[in-house]
């Protein structure tokens, strides 16, 4: 089935099998491997991307279901000059990662959370990222990174 998807601002038209998951189309069809495949069951959140600005787990959506829509992946957050998105910078500054496998999905979930709730408290951050699992960090530094990014956005506005 032919479909067109805008990914990180670039239009991609492809013939896609109707059973292809969005995460596999992004990784294998488009070649953007920052979005990770974790569990294929919506449990881990490693595959989180933004679909028309809203975070989704791309392992639960068929690529053909998003025909004509816009996806932002982790590769699309940085500026054209390579400047990190404030959430990416905060994760780096606050050591919000260890092995890094969950990081792209966690960052995308945090970006979505901050778009919906620009000034969350710690509880709201923990609730906002609860669909994304990290087996390494214990979440403390991730939460601190998201709170820091929120403060940076607030101060930069």
How far apart CA 8 and CA 26 sit, in angstroms, is 11
Q: Residue 138 — pLDDT band, cuts 50, 70, 90? A: confident
What percentage of the chain has pLDDT greater than the value 70?
98
Quick check: 121 pLDDT over 80? yes
How far apart CA 104 and CA 38 sit, in angstroms, is 12
Where do the domains of the chain lie?
A: 2-76, 86-156
CATH number at 86-156: 1.10.150.120
CATH number for the 2-76 domain, one of 3.40.718.10, 3.40.50.1970, 3.10.129.10, 3.10.20.30? 3.10.20.30
How far apart CA 118 and CA 49 sit, in angstroms, is 19
Quick check: 118 pLDDT over 70? yes
Q: Write out the two tokens for 8.
A: 């990180």
Segment 22-43, tens digit of pLDDT = 999 999 999 999 999 998 788 9
Number of CB atoms found within 10 A of residue 132's CB: 26
């Amino acid at each position: 089935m032919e479909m067109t998807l805008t990914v990180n601002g670039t239009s991609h038209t492809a013939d896609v099998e109707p059973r292809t998951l969005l995460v596999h189309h992004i990784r294998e069809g488009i070649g953007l491997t920052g979005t990770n495949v974790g569990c294929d069951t919506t449990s881990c959140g490693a595959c989180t991307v933004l679909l028309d600005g809203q975070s989704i787990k791309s392992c639960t959506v068929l690529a053909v279901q998003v025909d004509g829509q816009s996806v932002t992946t982790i590769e699309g957050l940085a500026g054209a000059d390579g400047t990190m998105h404030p959430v990416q910078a905060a994760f780096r500054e606050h050591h919000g990662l260890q092995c890094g496998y969950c990081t792209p999905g966690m960052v995308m979930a945090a970006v979505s959370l901050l778009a919906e709730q620009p000034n969350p408290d710690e509880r709201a951050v923990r609730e906002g990222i609860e669909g994304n699992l990290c087996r390494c960090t214990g979440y403390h530094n991730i939460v601190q990174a998201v709170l820091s990014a929120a403060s940076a956005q607030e101060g930069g506005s």
